[in-house]
Structure 1
Amino acid sequence: MAEKTRYHSKSRKYAELLDSRFTIPGTEIRFGIDPLIGLITGYGDLAGAALSVYFMYFATRLGAQSGVLIRMFVNVLADLAIGVIPVLGDLFDVGWKANIRNAKLLEKLEQNPEKLEKQSSLLMWLLFAVLVAILIGIIALTAWIISEVWETLFG
């Protein structure tokens, strides 16, 4: 049980670092390094999604049910998909807080061990492969757009 508690403690601290470490002075608006990384056009949101896979990994280590892993995946995917939209995506990152959502799911897993199963690692790797494929697709699309623009301008 100590190992599971350790996951929760680390996960909560990690989620807060990513999603709510800082406060905009004079407001109650909190944000973390995930929205800051997301400001790096194109690849910042990819890096943020890569950092968010941590929660899915530990949910798998705990033996999470497939539904929990899918909810975590959807949180990360929504953060990535909307996060790539300039300005709107950064505002979404500040409000959505996918990592805190996933840390709360991990906490619920630790509090309700009856919601665990042992077949979640296969689903985790499948979802991880889908996320990697999406990331590679975004990178490839970005490279293709840049090459087309380059060819049009200087070709």
Structure 2
Amino acid sequence: MTTTRIDPTIFDALPLGRDPVSVRRRIEAMERLLERSFTLPGTNRPVGLDFIVGLVPVVGDAITALMGSYIVWEARNLGLSKWQLARMMGNVGFDAALGLIPFVGDAADFFFRSNTRNLRIIRRHLDRHHPGATVIEG
């Protein structure tokens, strides 16, 4: 049987520094919270607050768009290019716009993971420009 509890280790000892390693850990924690913090029973598909809170019309999508914008703000502080930041804001905006459509937006949150896409952009940047911030995942 699959549990639907949130993983309590998501925010354990998150660093407060402005160095690339600290920023990467905070961004990864936010992405995990928004996209992969729960597992839906019967589907074994991870979902997060983006899907759950997005079920609340308008307000839920606004809240998750603000939380996704935090990831873009952290990326700006890392020095990503304007093109990368525009792509990231486009992902957040597209996700928020889809969320405004009843039922379709809820299904889209299940498949279109804007925060995961944004994390991928940030990881590529960090791997290229800050190789010391690379984390080997086991």
For normalisation by structure 1, the TM-score amounts to: 0.68
Paired residues of 2:38 and 2:48 also in contact (CA < 8 A): yes
How big is each residue's C-alpha offset from its partner over 1:83-111, in whole Å with a ceiling of 9 and x where there is no partner? Answer: 11111101101111111111121111111
Q: Does 1:18 align with 2:34?
A: yes
| Structure with larger RCO (C-alpha < 8 A, sep 6+) | 1
SS of structure 2 residue aligned to 1:26: coil
Same amino acid, percent of matched pairs: 30
1:93 paired to 2:109: yes
Structure 1 segments of 4+ aligned residues over 3 angstroms from their partners: none
Q: Determine the C-alpha separation between the residues in 1 that align with 2:23 and 2:119.
A: 9
- 1:87-143 per-residue CA deviation (whole Å, 9 max, x = no partner) reads 1101101111111111121111111118xxxxxxxxxxxxxxxxxxxxxxxxxxxxx
> Structure 2 regions of 5+ residues with no counterpart?
1-17, 131-138
- 2:22 maps to 6
- Separation in structure 2 between the aligned mates of residue 6 and residue 106 of structure 1, nearest angstrom: 13
| Structure with greater proportional helix content | 1
Structure 1 residue 40: Cα displacement: 1.2
State the secondary structure of the residue aligned to 2:43. Answer: coil
Q: How many residues align?
A: 113
Cα separation, 1, equivalents of 2:110 and 2:36: 8
2:123 is aligned, of 92, 97, 107, to 107
Q: Could you list the runs of 5+ residues in structure 1 that have no partner in the other structure?
A: 115-155
